[in-house]
Structure 1
Amino acid sequence: MKQLILAEKPSVAKDLSRVLGANQKHKNYYEGPKVIVTWALGHLLGLKMPEDLNKEWQTWKMETLPMIPKQIGIKPLPKTGHQLKAIKQLAQRKDVSEAVIATDAGREGELVARWILEWVRFDKPAKRLWISSQTDKAIKAGFANLQPAKAYDNLYQSAIARSKADWLVGLNVTRALTVKYQDNLSAGRVQTPTLALVRQQERKIETFRPQTYYVISLEVGEERGKRVQANPYEIKDQQTAQGIVQQLGNGRVDSIVEKAKTESAPLPYDLTEIQREANQRFNFSAKKTLSLVQSLYETHKIVTYPRTDSKYLTQDMKATMRERLQAVADFSPEVKTYIKNGAVVQQKAVFNDAKVSDHHALLPTEQKANYAKLTSDEQRIYNLIVSRFLMLFAAPHKKVQQKVTVKFGKEQFIFTQNKIVEAGWKTSEEQRASTIQWQEGMTVAPNFSIKKELTSPPKPLNEGTLLGKMEKFSLGTPATRAEIIEKLIKSELMERTPAGLQVSPKGKQLLELVNPSLVSPDLTEKWEKQLEAIAKGQFSSKAFLQQIEEDTKQLVKEVKQSEQKYQDFSLTQKKCPECGEFLREKNTRDGKIYVCSSAECSYRRRKDPKLSNHRCPQCHKKMEIIEGKNGAFFRCKFDGITEKLPTKNEKKKKMTKQEERRLMKKYSQEEPQESPLAAALKAAMEKQ
């Protein structure tokens, strides 16, 4: 009898099959003596859409809202039905005795597999593979320690509850807003409060008014002391500052206090922190960082499971530290010293079983990296993960902070100086030796400077700072936050700009039109904490969904009763040539387009001409494709030359550069043939 192993992606299935000896490759699976390894393609199934459940819900009407089905059900997603059918045939084989869920070890991975097993009506035992890295060693250890799938039922219930909650809130509120205001307005349980966080920061910037203030400093030699004051902005004009300074005579050193400070190394990364760090250092989007870490985990197998929300490690991982260090032995000179000293972790607080939920922090695996196979961006992310990991083995950073207080009557000035005792993990910190021999009671001359300063405006949120706020308010999970940001940009509610993230005019209006309870992160934060509780078996998914249904009814009711007005900023003054209605401007992957604002009209065209790869015969620059009354044609915008677009037959006749190269290669390899004249001459010469 054989195990049917279900991976989430073909690449993972390939690795599992290699380790498990499934060497027979088929179109949809691998097979070996004891196992059959197949794969999903991400989600193969999704919740049914409203039109699948009720004919009345096919048309978007306010009268049919809210849509609260008794049972939603699942259906196959388009384009991947062939793989689902193949899995069903494998599951029904008589030589299959049990299934092993080997999808990503997380909430969404659990949902991917459980829905497939439910759809194919798998009625045999099921087990769960739960691993945090894709190395051969981890895979073997994971299969030696398979758990019953029932042990993860709560995680599955949490995943279903999340999916249904998004269906109920997202589809109902989006439909209500779209129907009421006659424009595509997308709202959601997580995306709307996320958008509101960006807008909240924008309002702070808009209402900011710069203020002038003055700073008084005491200069002693080359050092500068700060004046002690409750409010750093309290001196509003120069006269006040000069008035304070003029009253002061000689000062004296009132106290010298030295304090030893020890700073432990930072904990390893979780997904959100490495996304923030990569955004700050390299300007990577959250989605790009997730993709890079996923590649390091899945393809190169040199980091552990990326979609983690923990910065801690379990106690049993102490035994793996030496191997992980050996894998990165060439990373920096100090690594060999750490190995020689017994691979002892100095940051003891990192080992905390209570703070590790599904997965531990991001770490390098025991597998050595092949840098030649990594892209430059993958190397950057890998270097971040390894550098943070190595800090765990470095000594704490120790310094002595000297604080000198100089008094001028009631006025006090503070001089601080740090002396590094042991650099430890903080190797880059510089120290400057004090040029003054301070002594208590020492007289200090009144050498003051007055500097004019201006308050700085708040900075717009970028993806790094937005991720931090999303984490603070429990908006989404580490695995979904990048996707939420991308969805807001794709739906034209938010834009990326060189300065940071910016809410579009459409997004600003949406936040005014949508329910205040959905704009605030409080309600979503409450929902997310309940989902976490469901995963831990501490809350009922049934009670959660009943509450979501009630909240959905209230949200739709508020939209229906709203008297807010909506202005479509995408509507242009250009008229549709077919029906006369105004055209609406839309962003697409292929550039900006114009579409007719009338629901009955299907007219659409590009806003700007499409740039082709066809070159102008005169200036050799790329020509535009122009849609004319008699069809499309090429036009050079630099010298006005036009050319007819080739027909399908003409395109076939025209040889591509690739075909040209292939023919050249073929002919260059053939033996040159002698002409009849050359052959006759050769024969005549041989007779002589």
Structure 2
Amino acid sequence: MRPPGIFATFTVNSSSAFAPEYPAMILYIAEKPSLGRAIAEVLPKPHKKGEGYIELGNGDCVTWCIGHLLEQAEPDAYSPEYKQWQLAHLPIIPAEWKLTPRSSAKSQLAVVKRLIKQASSLVHAGDPDREGQLLVDEVISHAKVSASKLASTQRLLISDLNPDAVRRALGQLRSNKEFVPLATSALARSRADWLYGLNMTRAYTLQGRKVGYAGVLSVGRVQTPLLGLVVRRDLDIEHFEPKDHYEVLAHITTDKGESFCAKWQPSEACQPYMDEEGRVLSRRLAETVVSRIGGKPALVEHVSHKDKKQAPPLLYSLSALQIDCAKRFGMSAKEVLDTAQSLYERHKLITYPRSDSRHLPKEQLALVPDVLSAVSANAPELLEGAPSPDLHLVSKAWDDSKVDAHHAIVPTGKRTALSQLNQRERQLYLHIARQYLAQFYPNRLLADTEIQLIIEGGSFIARASVERAPGWRVLFQGRSTEQDEAKEPQETDASQKTPLPALNKGDIARCCHGELLAKQTQPPKHFTDATLLSAMTGIARYVSSPDIKRILKDTDGLGTEATRAGIIELLFKRGFLVRQGKSIVASQAGRGLIASLPEVATTADMTALWERQLSDICQRQLSYKGFMTPLVLELEKLIEQAAASLPTALAGVTAAGPKRSFRGRAGKGKGRAPGASAGRGRKSRSSPSGKVAT
């Protein structure tokens, strides 16, 4: 298999001679027009605006892509016979990969190529992620620039579109050669997704027709395991059988008249009457405990006091922001992404939103006064009733070791009237700004107390967690936060928020009476926007293999920050997921598809292995060929397996999603795999992988 030749010339000697035919000119190639305009704004004036570019006052130029200007060629570009879907053609594996201009971007591609040829040097200004790296690299390669120009190309990394931030980034240019592994990883992923999505979609769609299913059975490396997650949750709910279980509370009174409750802790002798999770299943046993403890002395066996500090919640990554906004405002993942993109590109009020980091580099501490001043001016309501932020505090959010291509989403130093924003934009800005402000407040202080008592030989525990100082919580005015959920003790019938009585070991109180609590185990809940996103980011919780679990914990989860919203929306668009109120459930077509596929296609195991290997490519620990060769071998086995069985679970199921032609492009009759549309979660980008679903 041929390695990604578009990067091969990066290895040439950068001292190669080059005699430009045009006067010396630096060309800045941005990922999109808004970024191009932000770069031009801080460069020499006067500006001369052209069609698809801006000429600067010193003769340099800024141009831009419009998302991907190039895309993988259609299957029939490799062979006309691939226009018609047939099992005999599968798997389709190009020997030489071809890129073609996107039909809607041909004129801009011509502009960029012309300027690349005229330029004496290039500055790559794609977004600071692997997709942004590939997007511009593939255009530079397509223009067939000289080896010396390619070797001298510089990389501009911008995460904040405000002028001061852009100027800082321009002063920190790096060699584009440093990012070859990042681009190679992106190229490997896009080609692998094309191979897997196109071939599996064609195979199962063709087999589906044999059992009467008339729709397209779209299969993707990420979308299908996500659908499998929802299907399995739905089935768990349907097949759930509730169990009765019982708890006992002891109502305690001290000799000073103070009252509190303690919860019974069953002993080992009770094990035969308990389930694997420690719940008592015997009502008779619980009733016996209640009858024995009423009016009996309660001996204090142990008392512990623990002061706890709760640090401010970390800053937002895109997924953390999407999860939080789904809980707070009922926003879908796509709505959060689109709104954040508007705050970044249009209003320049936040930094780059497609970030997977929740930390900031320490160099950003120099920006704190300007950012806090802007937030205070833009949203004074955030500070109402709260002390002023302390600029001398440095929270754990500032950590260079946890920042890679991009940092957390934070406010910028721009001042504006929030009345210019729509409701969703204002909600998101306030949410992001509050999280940033919290970094400049002290830790929240809690006092945890636990009292262990013995009543009639049985063990009982009372717990309380009391706030001593609110710290950063003053900004949230009673709102619960992700940090609360992660660090506060889970409330039970025996825990309370008010202080427990001051007791010491050996003290004797009295159990006034016992109380029997009859409960039932609850089925898992259907996924919602928030919990489905949370499942994607924490997909390791849903796998059983220790090795796969470990890999997934070390990766970003299922999908990436930039793609998760689009993948979820794609499954709705294709009719595999539907909404029932706030719940997200699988349709009959979605269930039938998961039942028809091999397990490897419906779980996160394969994508976990891919992500580990793609990360290895970024770290120069694996080659492109080392990733693609075993992948192709596995794909061949999967296609053989598809051809050998029929998806009987789809017999009689009405086709989901839009009606499409099997012989041509989706709705156009020209050969595109309809089950392979992009779903990348990004309007400005067309997939580089032939519009293949991840």
The interval holding the TM-score normalised by the smaller chain is 0.7 to 0.9
Query: 1:434 & 1:126 partners in 2: Cα distance?
Result: 64
Question: Match of 1:333?
Answer: 383
Seen in structure 2, the aligned counterparts of structure 1 residues 119 and 434 have a Cα distance that, compared at 3 Å, is closer
Residues 62, 598 of structure 1: alpha-carbon distance in 2 compared, 3 angstrom cutoff: closer
* C-alpha contact 1:252 1:407 (8 A) present in aligned 2: yes
Structure 1 residue aligned with 2:216: 184
Identity %: 30
8 Å contact from structure 2 (residues 157, 169) kept in 1: yes
Q: Which residue identity does 2:404 align to in structure 1?
A: S
1:25 aligns with 2:49: yes
C-alpha distance in 1 between matches for 2:87 and 2:535 = 34
Query: Could you say which residue in structure 2 is the equivalent of 1:345?
Result: 393
Equivalent residue of 2:473, what SS?
coil
- Amino acid across the alignment from 1:548: L
Q: Give the distance between the partners of 2:470 and 2:30, measured in 1 at CA.
A: 46
Please tell me the residue identity of whatever aligns with 1:149.
N
> What is the TM-score of this pair, normalised by structure 2?
0.79
Instruction: Quote the offset at 1:435 in angstroms.
Output: 7.5
Structure 2 partner of 1:653: none
Q: State the Cα distance separating 1:175 from its structure 2 match.
A: 0.7
Q: Distance in 1 between matches of 2:314 and 2:632?
A: 40
Tell me the residue number matched to 1:115. 138
Are 1:464 and 2:530 an aligned pair?
Answer: yes
- The answer to whether the 8 Å contact 1:310/1:356 transfers is yes
State which of 11, 14, 32 in structure 1 corresponds to 2:37: 14
Unaligned runs of 5+ in 1: 572-584, 603-688
1:164 pairs with 2:196: no
Shift of 1:432: 5.3
Which residue number corresponds to residue 53 of structure 1? 78
Q: Does 1:562 align with 2:645?
A: yes
Aligned residues of 1:2 and 1:33 also touching (Cα < 8 A): no
Matched, 1:247 2:299: no
Given residue 58 of structure 1, which amino acid in structure 2 is its aligned partner?
A: K
Q: Which residue of 1 aligns with 2:164?
A: 137
Q: Which amino acid aligns with 2:612?
A: K
How far apart in 1 are the matches of 2:447 and 2:33?
56
**Residue equivalent to 2:517:** 451
Aligned twin of 2:331: 284
Q: Deviations over 1:459-479 (max 9, x none)?
A: 111222222222234221111
Q: Which residue of 2 aligns with 1:419?
A: 466
The amino acid that maps onto 2:285 is T
Say if 2:466 and 2:499, in contact at 8 Å, map to a contact too: no
Q: Does the aligned pair in 1 maintain the 2:593–2:650 contact within 8 Å?
A: no
What is the identity, as a one-letter code, of the residue corresponding to 2:383?
P
Gap change, CA 1:233 and 1:208, over 3 Å in 2: farther
Check whether the contact 2:589–2:656 (CA below 8 A) recurs between aligned residues.
no
Which residue identity lines up with residue 41 of structure 1 in the other structure?
I
437 and 86 in structure 1: CA distance in 2 versus 1, 3 angstrom threshold? closer
**Structure 1 pair 142/234, CA: closer, same or farther in 2 (3 Å)?**
closer
Deviation of residue 497 (structure 1)? 2.5
In 2: Cα distance, 1:547 partner to 1:409 partner: 65
Instruction: With a CA cutoff of 8 Å and minimum separation of 6, indicate the structure with the bigger relative contact order.
Output: 2
Secondary structure in 1 matching 2:449: strand
Specify whether residues 327 and 254 from structure 1 end up closer, same or farther in structure 2 by C-alpha distance, changes over 3 A only. same
Q: Does 1:540 align with 2:623?
A: yes
- Matching residue of 1:522: 605
Q: Rg: which structure is higher?
A: 1
Counterpart amino acid of residue 347 in structure 2: H
CA separation of 1:128 and 1:213: change in aligned 2, threshold 3 A: same
SS of residue paired to 2:92: coil
Any idea what SS the aligned residue of 1:452 has? strand
Residue 80 of structure 1 aligns to a residue whose secondary structure is helix
**Alpha-carbon shift at residue 156 of structure 1 (Å):** 0.8
Q: Relative to structure 1, is the Cα distance of residues 110 and 90 closer, same or farther in structure 2, using a 3 angstrom cutoff? A: same
Cα distance per residue 1:134-166 (max 9 Å; x no partner): 110111111122222211111110111011000
User: What is the CA distance between 1:586 and its match in structure 2?
Assistant: 5.7
CA distance in 1, matches of 2:154, 2:662: 53
Give the Cα–Cα distance (whole angstroms) in 2 for the partners of residues 291 and 246 of structure 1.
60
- CA 1:419 to 1:285, structure 2 compared with 1: closer, same or farther past 3 Å? closer
Please state if 1:362 is matched with 2:402: no
Residue 395, structure 1, aligned to residue 442, structure 2: yes
SS in 2 for 1:75: strand
Instruction: Indicate how the Cα distance of structure 1 residues 162 and 493 shifts in structure 2: closer, same or farther if over 3 A, else same.
Output: same
Is contact 2:595-2:649 (8 Å) kept? no
CA distance in 1, matches of 2:362, 2:307: 30
Change over 3 Å in CA distance of 1:226–1:18 after alignment to 2: same
Residues 445-467 of structure 1, C-alpha deviation per residue, up to 9 Å, x if partnerless?
A: 34112222222221111222222
C-alpha distance in 2, partners of 1:346/1:109?
A: 31
Matches within 5 A, 1:580-599: 587=657
Per the alignment, do residues 22 and 128 of structure 1 end up closer, same or farther by CA in structure 2, a change over 3 Å counting?
farther
> Counterpart of 2:648 in 1: which secondary structure?
coil
- Note the C-alpha offset of 1:77: 1.1
Cα shift at 1:568: 4.7
- Once the two structures are superposed, what CA deviation does each residue of 1:40-91 show, in whole Å capped at 9, x if it has no partner? 1111111112111112212111111111111122101122211112222222
Q: How far apart are residue 13 of structure 1 and its match?
A: 2.0
The residue aligned with 2:125 is: 102
One-letter code aligned to 2:260 = E
Q: Do structure 1's residue 319 and structure 2's residue 346 form an aligned pair? A: no
In 1: Cα distance, 2:537 partner to 2:184 partner? 23
Structure 1 residues 101 and 568 mapped into 2: Cα distance closer, same or farther (>3 Å)? farther
- Work out whether residues 452 and 461 of structure 2, in 8 Å CA contact, stay in contact via their aligned partners in 1: yes
Q: CA RMSD in A?
A: 2.5
Match of 2:234 among 202, 210, 213: 202
Query: Where do 5+ consecutive residues of structure 2 fail to align?
Result: 1-23, 210-214, 254-258, 268-273, 480-495, 540-556, 668-694
- Which structure has more strand as a fraction of its residues? 1
Q: One-letter code of the match for 1:246?
A: S
Q: Is the 8 A contact 1:213 1:233 kept in 2?
A: no
The answer to whether residue 591 in structure 2 is matched with residue 508 in structure 1 is yes
Task: Give 1:98 shift.
Answer: 1.5
When normalised by structure 1's length, the TM-score is 0.79
Instruction: Identify the residue that residue 309 of structure 2 maps to in structure 1.
Output: 262
Shift of 1:267: 1.1
- Contact persistence 1:303–1:365 (CA under 8 A): yes
Change (3 A) 1:295 1:398: same
Shift of 1:346: 4.2
- Structure 1 Cα separation of the partners of residues 663 and 218 of structure 2: 19
**C-alpha deviations, 1:516-543, integer Å up to 9, x for none?**
2121211111101211221232221121
Q: Distance in 2 between matches of 1:92 and 1:542?
A: 31
Q: Partners of 1:71 and 1:552 in 2: how far apart?
A: 18
Counterpart among 65, 71, 82 of residue 40 in structure 1 = 65
- Tell whether the 8 Å contact from 2:207 to 2:646 is kept in structure 1 after alignment: no
User: Is 2:260 the counterpart of 1:223?
Assistant: yes
Q: Distance in 1 between matches of 2:144 and 2:314?
A: 44
**How many Å separate the matches in 2 of 1:352 and 1:243?**
55
Contact 1:518 1:524 in 2 (8 A): no
Alignment correspondent of 1:309: 356
Amino acid across the alignment from 2:613? Q
Whether the aligned pair in 2 keeps the contact of 1:335 and 1:390 (CA below 8 Å) is no
Moved more, 430-439 or 160-169: 430-439
The equivalent of 2:457 in structure 1 is: 410
Q: What is the distance in 1 between the residues matched to 2:320 and 2:661?
A: 44
| Aligned AA (1:26) | G
